[in-house]
Structure 1
Amino acid sequence: MNQAQQAPATRVLRATRQRAAVSALLDRLDDFRSAQDIHEELRRVGDGIGLTTVYRTLQSLADAGEVDVLRTGTGEAVYRRCASAEHHHHLVCRRCGATVEIEGPAVETWAQRIAEQHGFSELSHTAEIFGLCRECSATT
């Protein structure tokens, strides 16, 4: 995983049964999950939503700023509803996917300073940190 997207919440989404099911599942999850993982979990609990609908729903939730999106090292998009609506970063376990939201004032200050040194303005950035969580480190 190596790239995140945090979109500003600007769109109002139409309420549908499918969106409600995907949204409710995301509310129960603590880590980033792929569309396929979400689809499989929905099927497991008896919700017959098609994979294409899951993809579209996740994209609309991401576009509305209701979920964060990371790209894995293989380019796969993974999704998570974060507790913070403000700009933030993530610590993500490479093995189990456990995720911790972090604020990064030092990163923000560094990005602003570097941008100013090179004459850049209207900044945006993503910074995610990947490693092994405490539990996974203990089992290696």
Structure 2
Amino acid sequence: MHGRDRGAWRTTPQRTAVLDALRARDVFVSAQSLHATLVAGGTAVGLSTVYRTLRLLEAAGNVDVVRDGDGERLYRPRADDGHRHYLVCRECGLSLAVDSEDVEEWVARIARDIGFHAVDHTVELTGVCDDCRPGPTERRTGV
């Protein structure tokens, strides 16, 4: 774990399994989906442990978090070089990191103008990827 708050992290086999399973995914994933993957793979871990571990990883700055259309939190390991912004497909969950220099500059300017310091932020960009986008016939007829 490489984040800001190592003190709250106590390594256990279950937490290590959660982190390894999260790192093995290339899309944002819910705690419930991650739990199901772990259990299907033979790891004995409770859903509450998965949630607790993800909250600790979030607090430590080791995961990026977005919300799906229902408001459920989805998690993805944060790259070693820091905070990322993602464009997330509302249909399949595909997530792609996007160039966020403009967003970071905007946040810094707003914080400076208002007089805030140490500002954290979340920017969620969602859409429908090309693979999930309805074809011309489906768009026209609603099928």
Fold shared by both chains (TM-score > 0.5): yes
Match of 1:25 among 3, 21, 27: 21
Aligned partners of 2:107 and 2:4: how far apart in 1?
Answer: 25
The Cα offsets for residues 17-63 of structure 1, whole Å up to 9 and x where unpaired, read as 00111011011101111111011111111112111111111111111
Considering only CA atoms, is the larger Rg found in Structure 1 or Structure 2?
2
TM-score, reference length from structure 2: 0.80
Judging changes above 3 Å, is the alpha-carbon distance between structure 1 residues 134 and 39 closer, same or farther for their aligned structure 2 residues? same
Aligned partners of 1:62 and 1:14: how far apart in 2?
Answer: 15
Residue 112 of structure 1: CA displacement?
A: 3.5
Match of 1:79 among 75, 79, 86: 75
Match of 1:9 among 3, 13, 38: 3
Correspondences of 1:34-45 after superposition (within 5 Å):
34-45=30-41
Conserved 8 A contact 2:65-2:73: yes
Residue 120 in structure 1 maps to residue 123 in structure 2 = no
- Percent identical: 42
Aligned partners of 1:78 and 1:134: how far apart in 2?
Answer: 21
Structure 1 residue identity aligned to 2:28? F
Aligned to 2:86: 90
User: Which has the bigger relative contact order, CA under 8 A and spacing at least 6?
Assistant: 1
Residue 69 of structure 1: CA displacement?
A: 1.7
Aligned partners of 1:116 and 1:64: how far apart in 2?
Answer: 25
Unaligned runs of 5+ in 2: 139-143
Q: Number of matched residues? A: 132
Aligned to 2:141: none
Q: CA RMSD in A?
A: 2.1
